[in-house]
Amino acid sequence: MTVSDAHRAIEAVWRIESAKVIAGLTRLTGDVGTAEDLAQDALVAALERWPESGVPDNPGAWLMATAKHRGIDALRRGKLLERKHVELGHELEAHQESPEGELAAALDDHVGDDLLSLMFTACHPVLSTEARTALTLRLLGGLTTDEIARAFLVPKATIAQRIVRAKRTLAAARVPFEVPRGADLAARLSSVLEVIYLVFNEGYAATAGDDWMRPGLCEDALRLGRILAGLVPDEPEVHGLVALMEIQSSRSRARKGPSGEMVLLLDQDRGRWDQLLIRRGLAALQRAEDRGGAFGPYALQAAIAACHARARRGEDTDWKRIAALYDALAELAPSPVVELNRAVAVAMAFGPAAGLEIVDSLATEPALGAYHLLPSVRGDLLAKLGRHGEARAEFERAASLTRNEPERRLLQKRAAASAERG
């Protein structure tokens, strides 16, 4: 095995095993920062040794054993004692002589609870949304600081600072490494779902940059969602979120044209939609409904996505059902963005004038003041009503507001088309 082959293998192993190792170490140390430091030490050791020795049969157990031994060495040098982690020494010493097989079994015994606890810790409400997102991708997604920075188009130093501050905040707040119980579970689970969907959305429709989509982020979010669904199989909204992401992901190949240009939903070649992902999404939606979650916010959005997935052609879409689902969503989780989406559905179901009436009622919403999709939707409805001059102005305004280059080009193209018709 060449060094480059070994490094690629190690990267793949790290993506798969790092969350379990960090979660297991956090359970032992009680501190997510210390746990990640030890796991990173183990990764460095793997990069040094595996190119010569090869990847071990149980790489997760090897990383855990190495991390524990590094922790013991640091304890003996007094570094961890100075950080008041005496109890860490006791836990690590207890497993020092355990063979890798026993360590693997111990890791597997706790892996479900540990991963779930790590998700709730990384997404704790004491952290800002940006910090929760960065920490989740780092600890649970296995992404490097540089990968996270590139995905969100922010400086590497900014992400590094967010992660460091997040760890310090968790330590200062003495956030327990545990799965919340009772009434706390629903509120905390909502925070976890929010972070996962935020990651997915940034991959599905990038807010800025030269790429319309960042598939890697969608894949990371889907992986986290599927893991979460396996850990809390009785929570309907988790299945609702997974359903939503699976169905939306099914359109990925059809959302870009041959030159990388954006292709809008009704213009997509539905033969390119991934039927396996659609089937998985519909099955997840059924699981949410079977658990009494048909009217949760994620399940409702998944039901809307399912209406599109079931239509063989754009003109076959059941827009009246979609409008009714948006009515239910607007009542359950009202927001200006939901209302804007409802306007689109109403326009498709009952005519552009009905949709425009809703859109115009949103004109003074502060939250939509710089939101490019408000003038974009308004421009589309005006064009359908034959008011092409007004439509051109709206598309131009939308193009000036978006920070995504493919989206800007599409909006400019629509503005030019409206100018020709006007």
Which whole number is the average pLDDT over 85-97?
50
pLDDT at 312: 94
Look at residue 90 and tell me whether its pLDDT is greater than 80. no
Q: Among 99-113, 272-286, 331-345, which is the least confidently predicted range?
A: 99-113
Which whole number is the average pLDDT over 140-156?
90
Beta-carbon contacts of 213 under 8 Å, excluding residues fewer than 6 positions away, are 203, 204, 205, 206, 252, 255, 256
pLDDT at 69: 83
Look at residue 51 and tell me whether its pLDDT is greater than 70. yes
Look at residue 74 and tell me whether its pLDDT is greater than 80. no
Look at residue 378 and tell me whether its pLDDT is greater than 80. yes
Look at residue 230 and tell me whether its pLDDT is greater than 80. yes
pLDDT at 77: 63
Look at residue 108 and tell me whether its pLDDT is greater than 50. no
pLDDT at 60: 87
How many CB atoms lie under 10 A from the CB of residue 219? 15
Please say whether the beta carbons of 250 and 281 come within 8 A.
Answer: yes
φ, ψ at 91 (rounded to 5°): -65, -45
pLDDT at 412: 97
pTM of the model: 0.87
Tokens (6 digits) for 315: 């003109």
pLDDT digits (tens, 9 = 90+) for 115-141: 999 999 999 999 999 999 999 999 998
Taking Cα atoms as reference points, which of 407, 353, 411, 415 lies closest to residue 384? Answer: 353
Amino acid at 48: E
pLDDT at 189: 94
pLDDT at 207: 86
Tokens (6 digits) for 129: 């949304």
pLDDT at 213: 87
Which whole number is the average pLDDT over 227-245?
96
Please say whether the beta carbons of 217 and 202 come within 8 A.
Answer: yes
pLDDT digits (tens, 9 = 90+) for 17-35: 899 999 988 988 888 998 9
pLDDT at 101: 47
pLDDT at 150: 87
Calculate what percentage of the chain has a pLDDT beyond 70.
91
Look at residue 206 and tell me whether its pLDDT is greater than 90. no
Beta strands in 118-215 (DSSP E): 208-209
Calculate what percentage of the chain has a pLDDT beyond 90.
70
Give Dmax over CA atoms of the chain in angstroms: 80
Please say whether the beta carbons of 300 and 318 come within 8 A.
Answer: no
How many CB atoms lie under 10 A from the CB of residue 282? 18
pLDDT-based confidence at residue 72 (cuts at 50, 70, 90)? confident
**DSSP for 347-409?**
HHHH-HHHHHHHHHHTTT-GGGTT-THHHHHHHHHHHHTT-HHHHHHHHHHHHHH-EEHHHHH
pLDDT at 232: 93
pLDDT at 106: 46
pLDDT at 249: 97
pLDDT at 107: 45
Alpha carbons 220 and 41: distance in angstroms, whole number = 24
Please say whether the beta carbons of 330 and 345 come within 8 A.
Answer: no
Please say whether the beta carbons of 403 and 202 come within 8 A.
Answer: no
Which whole number is the average pLDDT over 239-258?
96
pLDDT-based confidence at residue 294 (cuts at 50, 70, 90)? very high
Which of 6-10, 75-79, 280-284: highest mean pLDDT?
280-284
**For the chain, what is the mean pLDDT?**
89
| CA of residue 264 relative to chain centroid, distance | 22
Taking Cα atoms as reference points, which of 420, 401, 412, 418 lies closest to residue 207? Answer: 401
